[in-house]
């Protein structure tokens, strides 16, 4: 038999790529859906858990650090996990329009899933504080984008009031189906690691995702699919840290615009997570966020958005408090391509520009 034939036969025996049905179909038994629920999916979920060699070495003590790279979801953030549920349930309830306030990712995701479900999407964003990639997505997916001269907290108040008075479904994380979808990330982490990690590090804005992960960890633990529960470490940007400072921040500010939130709507839930998991909320400065962002890019080959890097920045900051041989998972919530302006301004790359199109010039520049 020829070599080619042998290889062909081998592949016939074992299918390498398996079709992923999207998280609602994958975790049907764990979600509040029925046969009547139309599944609106872009095949979100099943994102990789990646071992970080360089960061693990920086922590030392035989600690293993992984990232849950949720920036590889269809619209480039973890929001797709919640949105497939929120939009499917809205469709089941015959809703024709949805609304959200957003620092960018929720609006991109809501717009994509609403389009898939043939619904109108209204998104309110803080004018001038949404990364270019996210704004581009909302526009391309066909949302009606409304930019207000105010921050996310103000936008959220407005959309909550509108959805109370008019037939438009709110798809921010106060919508309980959002957290149901997002909890599946914890299931995937347990399945990939074979057990729960010892510590989960996660960026916190409106505090929905930390609450969703905790729900997922608890459900798998109760079903004996894991042997322990993780300590939940939530990280906020220093200029925007209401849970760390235990007060509303009227003018939140940070380079990590995704988590530029001064009054998290899921505050009570998040405080409960902290208590139950024996976790903590801590803050990281913009400088620490950018430092982690650069390390992830140039030492691990992983490009995330600045808000996501807050989880790794936080881990590096609390390095001395990490016990020996623990397994830590940092959640990377969004893709680096979302915020090209931040990337262009914050890198240590060598970028030679305006060279003559001449081979000797190029060779000279290369130092050969
Ligand atoms: N990371 C990214 C990339 C985000 O976009 C967000 C939230 C968070 C972390 C924080 O998650 O709010 O559940 O604590 N973004 C929202 C939005 C607010 O509008 O896209 P959280």
Query: 216 in ligand 1 pocket by Cβ < 6 Å?
Result: no
Q: Are the C-beta atoms of residues 112 and 81 closer than 8 Å to each other?
A: no
CA of 176 to the centre of ligand 1 (A): 16
pLDDT at 11: 63
Q: Are the C-beta atoms of residues 281 and 265 closer than 8 Å to each other?
A: no
Closest CA to 24 of 8, 2, 44, 4: 44
DSSP structure class, residue 323: P
Query: 208 in ligand 1 pocket by Cβ < 6 Å?
Result: yes
CA of 12 to the centre of ligand 1 (A): 43
Q: Which atom of ligand 1 is nearest to the CA of 203?
A: 9
CA of 323 to the centre of ligand 1 (A): 29
Query: 335 in ligand 1 pocket by Cβ < 6 Å?
Result: no
Q: Which atom of ligand 1 is nearest to the CA of 209?
A: 13
Cβ-count burial of 326 within 10 angstroms (0-12 exposed, 13-18 middle, 19+ buried)?
A: middle
Q: Which atom of ligand 1 is nearest to the CA of 211?
A: 13
pLDDT at 16: 82
Q: Which residues contact 281 (CB under 8 A, 6 or more apart)?
A: 204, 234, 235, 236, 241, 243, 244, 270, 274
Query: 82 in ligand 1 pocket by Cβ < 6 Å?
Result: no
Q: Which of 69, 98, 105 to mutate to test the pocket of ligand 1 (most atoms within 8 A of CB)?
A: 105
pLDDT at 6: 72
CA of 119 to the centre of ligand 1 (A): 23
Query: Coil, helix or strand for 301?
Result: coil
Query: 155 in ligand 1 pocket by Cβ < 6 Å?
Result: no
Q: What is the largest CA-CA distance in the chain?
A: 73
Count of alpha carbons within 13 angstroms of residue 151, beta-carbon side: 18
Q: Are the C-beta atoms of residues 257 and 203 closer than 8 Å to each other?
A: no
CA of 184 to the centre of ligand 1 (A): 16
Query: 211 in ligand 1 pocket by Cβ < 6 Å?
Result: no
Torsion, Cα 173 177 180 181, to 10 degrees, reads: -90
pLDDT at 1: 67
The pTM of the full predicted model, rounded to 2 decimals, is 0.95
**DSSP E strands, the chain:** 49-51, 64-69, 97-101, 120-126, 144-148, 169-170, 199-203, 231-237, 280-284, 327-332
Q: What is the pLDDT along the chain (368 residues), one digit of tens a residue?
A: 677 777 677 666 677 888 999 999 999 999 999 999 999 999 999 999 999 999 999 999 999 999 999 999 999 999 999 999 999 999 999 999 999 999 999 999 999 999 999 999 999 999 999 999 999 999 999 999 999 999 999 999 999 999 999 999 999 999 999 999 999 999 999 999 999 999 999 999 999 999 999 999 999 999 999 999 999 999 999 999 999 999 999 999 999 999 999 999 999 999 999 999 999 999 999 999 999 999 999 999 999 999 999 999 999 999 999 999 999 999 999 999 999 999 999 999 999 999 999 999 999 999 99
Query: 207 in ligand 1 pocket by Cβ < 6 Å?
Result: yes
pLDDT at 5: 77
Cβ-count burial of 134 within 10 angstroms (0-12 exposed, 13-18 middle, 19+ buried)?
A: buried
CA of 205 to the centre of ligand 1 (A): 5
Q: Name the strand (E) or helix (H) holding 147.
A: strand 144-148
CA distances from 49 to 170, 179, 189, 228, 332 (A): 31, 20, 7, 19, 10
Q: Which atom of ligand 1 is nearest to the CA of 172?
A: 19
């Amino acid at each position: 038999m020829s070599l080619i034939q042998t290889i062909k036969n081998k592949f016939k025996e074992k299918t390498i790529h398996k079709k992923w049905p999207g998280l609602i179909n994958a975790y049907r038994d764990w979600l509040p859906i029925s046969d009547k629920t139309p599944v609106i999916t872009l095949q979100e979920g099943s994102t990789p858990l990646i071992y970080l060699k360089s960061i693990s070495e920086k922590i030392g003590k035989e600690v293993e650090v992984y990232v849950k790279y949720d920036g590889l979801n269809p619209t480039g953030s973890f929001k797709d996990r919640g949105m497939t549920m929120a939009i499917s349930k809205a469709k089941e309830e015959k809703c024709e329009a949805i609304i959200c306030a957003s620092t960018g990712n929720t609006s991109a995701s809501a717009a994509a899933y609403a389009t898939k479900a043939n619904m109108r999407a209204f998104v309110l964003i803080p004018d001038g504080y949404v990364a270019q990639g996210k704004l581009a997505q909302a526009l391309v997916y066909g949302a009606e984008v409304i930019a207000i001269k105010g921050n996310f907290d103000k936008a959220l108040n407005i959309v909550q009031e509108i959805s109370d008075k008019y037939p438009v479904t709110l798809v921010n994380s106060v919508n309980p189906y959002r957290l149901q979808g997002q909890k599946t990330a914890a299931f995937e982490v347990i399945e990939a690691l074979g057990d729960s990690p010892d510590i989960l590090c996660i960026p916190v804005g409106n505090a929905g995702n930390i609450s969703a992960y905790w729900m997922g960890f608890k459900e798998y633990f109760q079903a004996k699919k894991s042997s322990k529960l993780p300590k939940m470490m939530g990280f906020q940007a220093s200029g925007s840290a209401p849970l760390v400072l235990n007060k509303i921040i009227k003018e939140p500010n940070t380079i990590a615009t995704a988590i530029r939130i001064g009054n998290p709507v899921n505050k009570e839930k998040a405080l409960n997570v902290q208590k139950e998991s024996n976790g903590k909320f801590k803050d990281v400065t913009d400088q620490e966020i950018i430092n982690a962002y650069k390390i992830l890019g140039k030492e691990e080959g992983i490009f995330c958005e600045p808000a996501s890097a807050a989880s790794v920045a936080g881990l590096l900051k609390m390095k001395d408090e990490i016990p020996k041989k623990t397994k830590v998972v940092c959640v990377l919530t969004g893709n680096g391509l979302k915020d090209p302006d931040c990337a262009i301004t914050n890198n240590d790359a060598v970028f030679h520009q305006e060279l003559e199109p001449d081979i000797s010039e190029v060779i000279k520049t290369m130092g050969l």
